[in-house]
Amino acid sequence: MSDAKGFDTLQIHGGAAPDPATGARQVPIYQSTAFVFRDAAHAAALFGLKEVGYIYSRLTNPTIAALQTRIAMLEGGAGAVCCSSGHAAQIMALFPLMGPGRNIVASSRLYGGTITQFSQTIKRFGWSAKFVDFDDLAAVTAAIDSDTRAVFCETIANPGGYITDLRAIANITDAAGIPLIVDNTTATPYLCRPIEHGATLVVHSLTKYLTGNGTVTGGAVVDSGKFDWSASDKFPSLSQPEPAYHGLVFQQTFGPAAFTFHSIAVGLRDLGMTLNPQAAHYTLMGIETLSLRMAKHVENAQIVAEWLEKHPAVGAVTYPGLKSSPYHARVASVVPKGAGALFTIQLKGGYDACLKFVSSLKLFSHVANLGDARSLVIHSASTTHSQLTADQQIAAGAAPDVVRLSIGIEDPKDLIADLDQALKAAS
């Protein structure tokens, strides 16, 4: 299907067609480990990357392939690879780019689990990360050195809802000849398509808004297909002969699809971070209503944030849709359909008031998730960002006196009533 179709059409029809065997209109769940080859020559062609098809569900599966195609179309990318979680997607994105001694430059405003993954876990691969305030463009530029292989940020940062100036960061990465990786989980392609702002790769946690109902753990990496991996010697996995495939060069052989093919043929083959077909099916169904849900998320978030900003127990609200936000000016250029539905509130009563507030909510669900149809709440400093130092928590927007809200699609009057009674209980 042509990507000239509108977003609302693509979110339903992208990557999908009636099943040729049965005529089933919804994408079937191909719950199969392996797929029968036509003959020995067909098997050899698939394993040698000379023909595209299905071999083994760790690598390729028709249900997952439909999801990959749909996400790539919605993001305006050349291809996508789905995997087992958003964290897996981040490793999958870095895997073809990195090597021992190499580093990434990452925004200091990231999900706490991402900061831990980048500051601690990737050290075991011999990789490292430099965390920088991405509002300081000079600092971002200065942090890039000869060993830097990627720059990483979030479109709308979790938990504070800060909006990144993607075009300004892309200008820096373009000048340095390295890819920009953007986590677009909290914005989704409905609110922002980072590739249009210069991103090379886009990652998602399918667990959040794309599925939208709290049933799936999954991730995706979308490749813009626009980066020339052969322009330097920095990315040998993509620009040099691959020994496991008899010297095949991914950039030379697959062109704009080089990263996608490498992620399947090497990344999924060896890391095994596979999404299961049933999870892919749930996400496909969730995406069908993405634009409708996101519009309601944004509408509710604006109403709730404006109410909270006036509440005497609330010291600050970080929602970029508010005129008081320092990021309000970026809404029109980065997320013109709305500033998302994730933000934090600072309570004047401090840490103890935050804990009491969270415990007093009744309609909001106290869970370690976001992007659900239900409204969610968490105290980041004691949970999702608890592994960070106090300075890191503050830099990430998760200070001890801050609570994160993920606004759902319920009646906003009911959400406000619940917040009001909990704020009274907390103070």
The 10s digit of each residue's pLDDT in 86-123 is 999 999 999 999 999 999 999 999 998 999 999 999 99
CA dist., res. 27 & res. 18, Å (int): 7
- CA–chain centroid gap for 371, Å, is 11
pLDDT recorded at residue 172: 98
pLDDT recorded at residue 383: 83
**CATH classification (class only), 7-97+179-286:** alpha beta
Where would I find the beta strands (DSSP E) of 84-215?
A: 103-107, 128-132, 148-154, 180-183, 201-205
pLDDT recorded at residue 254: 97
- CA–chain centroid gap for 407, Å, is 18
Specify whether the CB–CB gap between 179 and 147 falls below 8 A: no
Q: Which distant-in-sequence residues (6+ apart) come within 8 Å of 390 by Cβ?
A: 400
Tally of residues, the chain = 427
Report the first-to-last Cα separation within the chain, whole angstroms. 55
Q: Name the phi and psi angles at 139, rounded to 5.
A: -70, -35
Q: Where in the chain is the domain with CATH 3.90.1150.10?
A: 291-426
The structure's pTM equals: 0.95
| Ranges in the chain, pLDDT < 50 | none
How is domain 291-426 classified at the CATH fold level?
Aspartate Aminotransferase, domain 1 (3.90.1150)
pLDDT recorded at residue 373: 97
Q: Where in the chain is the domain with CATH 3.40.640.10?
A: 7-97+179-286
pLDDT recorded at residue 397: 82
DSSP state of 60: -
CA dihedral 12, 15, 17, 22 (to 10 degrees): -110
pLDDT recorded at residue 390: 84
CA dist., res. 4 & res. 2, Å (int): 5
